Structure 1
């Protein structure tokens, strides 16, 4: 398993592609933070996951088959009908190896993992579409039958409706965000935005542990696939699987609730706070951690980096009792370049307002666009309440 050191800072992209989101999944799932502050990537899965997603999408929403098989004068001729499906068939067992009990998969990927080993196509690996098989068909015929089989199984469980239900939460989160942030800007005209990442000390690893953890992840991945190939159900694999995650979702949720509950009793820091956005992310080794964006009335407070320091210290010392380490993004403006979107945001600075929405959209999307979720049924994103009073018509603003 590859071990790769990464920079400490996280840069939010202003456009999202599938490749970008897959890269983000690697960074979210497979990065560990060392005790000396370095971030190390100990697993990479995105390249083949990209292919599996495309394959599953074409199975569910397409009508083409991977191959066309035609009779010839001496033997059957095979030509590719769908490059995406054909590539998927040729990488089928590589896709099986992507299965992990650490994750809950979207319906189209679950369909694949549940049925790929129930069809004889998996016995033809390594796959050669021109290979004749004993029953008189070509390997290409078996591949076509597998795609039809998946489509049939998908119809039985109303797969398209399940996918729509799966995506609904993230779509609702993003729509909420597109209403919430402009409403705050409209009411306050100037927002001071503070971005904090809350990580946990027990999630951090020593340099000596890195290779051991990389080997352990590789071993667990192989065990997951072995259980899948032995016919064990996905639910049972997940239920019986040990986890390396060091921070539980319940601990994180408890700390988040503690923070919001205590805000009223700490006016020196939170008196002028007018809103917030939060997101919880999962990593295989570290477990769960928190991303926060806090909004203050910019006409009453300044010094965003100082506020970030003070609130970060409060979270570390009071909210978590010394269990957490908070990274203040507002102290690292140089890491963001022209994508800087936090600090003071004024209503007339439309480019910065748009960048702010894009940064927060990054949180709202979670990992949905790459079709994996770390915790089934768990709320991983939230915002404050909409302003209860929108601005009334009055004197025209200066800008």
Structure 2
């Protein structure tokens, strides 16, 4: 989310992501919600851990003996530094969500062979912790990593991840074919691009998500319980930033009811592309949209008005929780032009050079691999990338 250029401002002049009073969060509520940055930090650690588990055969700890006493020596920091968080990783497991093969592998292996049974048990996380059977925690962790690798081979996880990453190649081809067909029918195109996101924190429970942990009951069944993780005071993170279901619902709402109050936004629309991604740095779900408009009918003033309507629509349908980065803000556009990176000039009379520049830009923008691929979806076939035609 850019801060300098194109951020839509509210009527009071403050950026929307600055208007939520995080200091009051939780003061009148007992809910332990996901606090700002918690989800992403845990998510990034799990992705890193599984990457290390699956990319090499190394054992996390070397087990040594001194005077008949076992002790552990860390041999692979990329594995061992995640030991203390293994049980907390289960907080990321939401029932009914679809997970990438690496995350699914962890959740299912941990449920089958947990290192700890509850968050309280996980507080004793020194690798030399001794158990009644004579093992130390480091040995149990080594065994758990070995078990995941065994299961990864049995489940063909490497191939599944490879197929998942190759999905970008399919998207690239699909977008290229879509643009070629659209341009064949519509030789005059002007593209309007915007990045939709969400404010960082919220002040009411209904806009946040409870953080839940997992533990086993007396019969060994896994159940969810409210998290007892101490509060950092950072404030509840906006639910749509960490829940892909909500991000997708807001995206669909933007393109629904095109004959309503914002009909001017869609009046000259000939096509659109949109994609939900997860930020590589901040981890928040956000939506990229590209509206393809009839360049013969949409002149400068109309184009500027459409930009404003799109921003207002996003803020309204998100009940004020939406941010917009306007990629056509004059200062931002001028910066890209100076750098030779501006590619959104109108394509008139099937100008082949301009169309190819626009086509290349759109494909690169929507089919890029920069750590924003989504690993958690509502369903296996939930579409992060969508395209549409009007008329």
TM-score (norm 2): 0.61
Identify the match of residue 277 of structure 1 among 269, 273, 281: 273
Measured at CA, do residues 198 and 216 of structure 1 come closer, stay the same or move farther in structure 2, by a change above 3 Å?
A: closer
Q: Name which of structure 1's ranges 143-152 and 43-52 shifts more when overlaid on structure 2.
A: 43-52
Q: Which residue of 2 aligns with 1:27?
A: none
The C-alpha deviation readout for 1:305-341, integer Å capped at 9, x for no partner, is: 6325248649989xx99x9999683552424633654
Q: Which residue of 1 aligns with 2:387?
A: 383
For 2:328 and 2:365, how far apart are their aligned partners in 1?
Answer: 17
Contact 1:305 1:330 in 2 (8 A): no
Measured at CA, do residues 281 and 170 of structure 1 come closer, stay the same or move farther in structure 2, by a change above 3 Å?
A: same
Q: Which residue of 2 aligns with 1:38?
A: 16
- Comparing both structures, which one devotes a greater share of its residues to helix? 1
Identify the match of residue 360 of structure 1 among 356, 366, 372: 366
Secondary structure of the corresponding residue to residue 115 of structure 2 = helix
Q: Which residue of 1 aligns with 2:373?
A: 369
For 2:140 and 2:323, how far apart are their aligned partners in 1?
Answer: 54
Q: CA RMSD in A?
A: 5.3
Secondary structure of the corresponding residue to residue 91 of structure 1 = helix
Contact 1:6 1:39 in 2 (8 A): no
Q: Which residue of 1 aligns with 2:82?
A: 88
Contact 1:276 1:292 in 2 (8 A): yes
Identify the match of residue 153 of structure 1 among 116, 133, 151: 151
Identify the match of residue 291 of structure 2 among 287, 291, 294: 294
For 2:122 and 2:265, how far apart are their aligned partners in 1?
Answer: 67
Contact 1:185 1:347 in 2 (8 A): no
For 2:276 and 2:110, how far apart are their aligned partners in 1?
Answer: 32
Identify the match of residue 138 of structure 1 among 111, 136, 139: 136
Q: Which residue of 2 aligns with 1:114?
A: 108
Contact 2:215 2:223 in 1 (8 A): yes
Measured at CA, do residues 229 and 376 of structure 1 come closer, stay the same or move farther in structure 2, by a change above 3 Å?
A: farther
Structure 1 residue 38, shift from structure 2 partner? 0.6
Secondary structure of the corresponding residue to residue 276 of structure 1 = strand
Contact 1:8 1:37 in 2 (8 A): no
For 2:382 and 2:168, how far apart are their aligned partners in 1?
Answer: 12
Contact 2:247 2:286 in 1 (8 A): no
TM-score (norm 1): 0.60
Structure 1 residue 143, shift from structure 2 partner? 0.9
Q: How does 1:1-399 map to 2 (within 5 A)?
A: 7=3, 38-39=16-17, 43-44=36-37, 45-72=39-66, 74-76=68-70, 78-100=72-94, 103-122=97-116, 123=121, 125-167=123-165, 169-177=167-175, 180=178, 191-196=189-194, 210-213=202-205, 216-217=208-209, 220-221=210-211, 224-225=212-213, 227=214, 253=252, 256=255, 259=258, 269-270=267-268, 275-280=271-276, 291-296=288-293, 300=296, 303=299, 306-307=302-303, 309-310=305-306, 313=309, 329=326, 331-335=328-332, 337-338=335-336, 340-344=342-346, 348=353, 355-361=361-367, 369=373, 371-383=375-387
Specify every segment of 5 or more residues in structure 2 that has no aligned partner in the other structure, as ranges.
Answer: 21-34, 227-237, 280-284
Secondary structure of the corresponding residue to residue 82 of structure 2 = helix
**Count of residue pairs brought into register by the alignment:** 331
Q: Which residue of 2 aligns with 1:24?
A: none
The C-alpha deviation readout for 1:91-146, integer Å capped at 9, x for no partner, is: 32342334445953222112222332543522564422233433333322111101
For 1:172 and 1:361, how far apart are their aligned partners in 2?
Answer: 9
The C-alpha deviation readout for 1:142-194, integer Å capped at 9, x for no partner, is: 11101112223334433334434544544422342355558878999985211
Secondary structure of the corresponding residue to residue 274 of structure 2 = strand
For 1:384 and 1:215, how far apart are their aligned partners in 2?
Answer: 30
Specify every segment of 5 or more residues in structure 1 that has no aligned partner in the other structure, as ranges.
Answer: 12-32, 238-242, 386-399
Contact 2:274 2:386 in 1 (8 A): yes
